[in-house]
DNA sequence: TAGCCTTGACTGATCGATCAGTCAGTGTGA
DNA sequence: TCACACTGACTGATCGATCAGTCAAGGCTA
C-alpha cells in the first residue's frame, strides 16, 4: 500500500535494482522455499506481478540474484588471483586471501548474500546447478593456482583443499554469533580485522598439511 | 491405505520410527520450508493427521529429527573424546577424528541427515536455536580439549578453530559431486577411506597454524 | 499512435493445521 | 464370562491462509 513516490526519486530502472536487492534479503532470511513472492514484492515496493514481468518465475529471480552477486565476487577474485605469482613467496596465503576477501567484503553483499552463499554448500539440486554455472569457472582457476603453489600436489588433493577452504569460509560467512557464544565472551573477542588472517592461516596450514601427507615421503 | 500388518511385525510404535525416518529424508531433500507434511506422511505410510497427533507441529517434528540424530552423533563423539589424553602424542588429530568420524559414519544418518547438518551452518533463527540446544554442550567439551591439546591458545582461538573445523566437515558432509567434478575425474579420485585422514590432516594443520600465529613469537 | 512498465484483481493449487469420529485394546466390577 | 467405561492411536474431511503465477487494462514516454 501507499505507493512509493516516484517523481523525485532516482527513477530509471529503479524497480529492477529494488527487486534484486529485496530478493537477496528475502531469500537470505527465509531460503528459497520460505521466501514468498508477495512479501518480496512488498519489500521491494512494487507489485507482485512486476516480479513475474521482469523475471518470469521465482526460480529465475533466485538465479538472477546469485548470478549478479557471484559476478561481482568472482570478478574481484580473479583480479586478485591473477596478480599473484604462484611461485613467489607466500603465494598460497595470497591465493586464499583472493578467495576469501571478496566474499567477506562489501562486494560480497554483506550478511544477506552471505547466508545464501553458505546455503549453497548444503546443495540441493537447484543450488548445485547454480554453483556449477556461476562458480565453477572461477574455481578451476583457483585449483590451478593451488596446484602451482603446492608443487607435487595431485589434482584431487587440490580440489579437496579448495573444497575445505570453501567450507571454512562458509563457516565464517554466516555469522550467527555461535563462536562468540562458545568462546564465552561478548562480541568483542573475534574482530573482523583478525578474521581474514585467521582464515588464511588455517587454510594455508591445512593445505600444506595435506600436500605434505600426499607427497612421496622419500622425497621430502 | 494398506495398513501394515502388525501381528508378526515388530509392531509397537512402528509409526513413530517411520515418521522420524521419513521426516529426516524429506527435510534433507527439500529443507524445512520445502518439505511438505502431506508428502512426508505419504512417505512414512501414515496419515498427515498422525504427524500432528504425535508431534503437534512441523517445527516440533523438525526439532525431533535433529534431537534424535544429534544425540546419537554427540554421544559417540563424547565417548571418543573422553578416551583421549589431551597431553598425549597426536592428541589434536584424535580430537578432530572424534569430531568428524561420528558425523560421517552410519550413526550420522547417511546422506539424509548430512544435508540437514550442513544446512545448520547457514543458520536461520530456527536452526540456530536447535544448534544451541543440541550441539553446544558437546561443542564446549571439544573446545576444552582443543585448548588442552594446544597449550597457550586463547579461548577465542579455540572457538575459532572449532568453527573452522566444523566448516570443513560441512563441506564434506553434503557430498554433491563438485569436488570430483572440479578434479576432472569420475568418482574414484576421492575415496572415503582417505577422506577422514585428509579432513583431520587439514584441521590439524590449520589449528596449529592459528595456534602458532597467536603464540608469542619470541617463545617459539 | 506505439511500446514499454506497472498495476490490481484474480485463479487453482497447496500449505499446515484442526476437527469429529473410528477402532482396537485394556482395565474394572459383578 | 460378560458388559461397560475409558484410553491411545489413527483417519478422512476440511479449515483458512498463502502460494506462484496470469491477465486485461491503465499510465507514461516518445
Contact B76, B97 (CB under 8 A): no
| CA A12 to C1' C2, whole Å | 20
Phi, psi of B207 (to 5 degrees): -65, -45
Q: Counting Cβ atoms within 10 Å, is residue A45 exposed (0-12), middle (13-18) or buried (19+)? A: middle
Give the model's pLDDT for residue B124.
82
In 3D, which of A69, A72, A76 has the Cα closest to residue A115? A69
A50 strand C contact, CB < 7 Å: yes
Average confidence (pLDDT) over A44-51: 92
Distance, in Å, from the CA atom of B162 to the CA atom of B100, rounded to the nearest integer, reads 11
Closest residue to A206, CB basis, from B197, B202, B213? B202
Proximity of residue B48 CB to strand C below 7 A: yes
* Chain B residues touching residue A156 (CB < 8 angstroms): 183, 185, 189-190
pLDDT digits (tens, 9 = 90+) for B6-61: 332 333 458 788 899 999 999 988 889 999 999 999 999 999 999 999 999 999 99
pLDDT above 70 (res B198): yes
Residues of chain B above pLDDT 70, percent: 87
Residue B210 scores a pLDDT above 70: yes
Highest mean pLDDT pick, A10-19, B6-15, B136-145: B136-145
Q: Is B129 exposed, middle or buried (0-12, 13-18, 19+ CB in 10 A)?
A: exposed
Residue partners of A65: CB distance under 8 A and separation at least 6 = A20, A23, A24, A27, A113, A116
Judged against a pLDDT cut of 60, whether residue B219 lies above it is answered with: no
Q: Please, what sign has the CA dihedral across residues A137, A141, A142, A146? A: positive
Across all strands, nucleotide nearest B50 (CA–C1'): D10
Mean per-residue pLDDT for A192-218? 83
Mean pLDDT of A198-217: 85
The x, y and z cell numbers of residue A162, run together, are: 579448495
pLDDT tens, position by position, A89-131: 999 999 999 999 999 988 877 777 888 888 887 778 889 999 9
pTM assigned to the model = 0.89
Report pLDDT for B10: 35
Nearest C-alpha neighbor of B93 from the set A80, B219, B101, A218: B101
Minimum CA–CA partner of A141 in chain B: B182
Q: CA–C1' distance B14–C30 (Å)?
A: 38
Is the predicted pLDDT of residue A218 greater than 60, yes or no? Answer: no
Interatomic separation, CA of residue B12 and C1' of nucleotide C28, rounded (Å): 25
pLDDT of residue B188: 54
Nucleotide C10's nearest residue (CA vs C1') is A49
Amino acid at each position: 500500500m501507499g505507493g512509493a513516490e516516484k517523481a523525485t526519486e532516482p527513477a530509471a530502472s529503479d524497480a529492477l535494482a529494488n527487486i534484486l536487492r529485496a530478493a537477496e534479503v528475502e531469500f537470505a532470511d527465509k531460503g528459497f522455499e520460505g521466501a514468498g513472492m508477495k512479501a518480496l514484492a512488498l519489500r521491494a515496493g512494487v507489485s507482485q506481478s512486476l516480479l513475474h514481468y521482469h523475471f518470469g518465475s521465482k526460480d529465475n529471480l533466485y538465479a538472477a540474484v546469485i548470478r549478479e552477486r557471484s559476478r561481482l565476487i568472482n570478478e574481484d577474485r580473479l583480479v586478485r588471483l591473477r596478480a599473484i605469482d604462484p611461485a613467489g613467496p607466500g603465494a598460497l596465503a595470497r591465493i586464499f586471501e583472493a578467495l576469501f576477501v571478496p566474499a567477506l567484503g562489501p562486494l560480497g553483499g554483506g550478511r544477506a548474500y552471505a547466508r545464501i552463499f553458505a546455503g549453497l554448500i548444503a546443495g540441493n539440486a537447484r543450488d548445485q546447478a547454480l554453483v556449477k554455472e556461476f562458480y565453477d569457472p572461477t574455481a578451476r582457476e583457483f585449483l590451478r593456482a593451488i596446484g602451482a603453489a603446492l608443487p607435487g600436489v595431485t589434482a584431487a588433493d587440490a580440489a579437496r583443499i579448495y573444497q575445505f577452504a570453501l567450507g571454512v569460509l562458509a563457516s565464517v560467512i554466516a555469522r550467527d554469533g555461535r563462536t562468540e557464544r562458545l568462546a564465552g565472551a561478548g562480541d568483542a573477542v573475534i574482530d573482523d580485522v583478525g578474521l581474514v588472517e585467521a582464515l588464511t592461516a588455517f587454510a594455508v596450514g591445512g593445505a600444506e598439511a595435506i600436500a605434505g601427507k600426499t607427497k612421496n615421503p622419500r622425497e621430502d
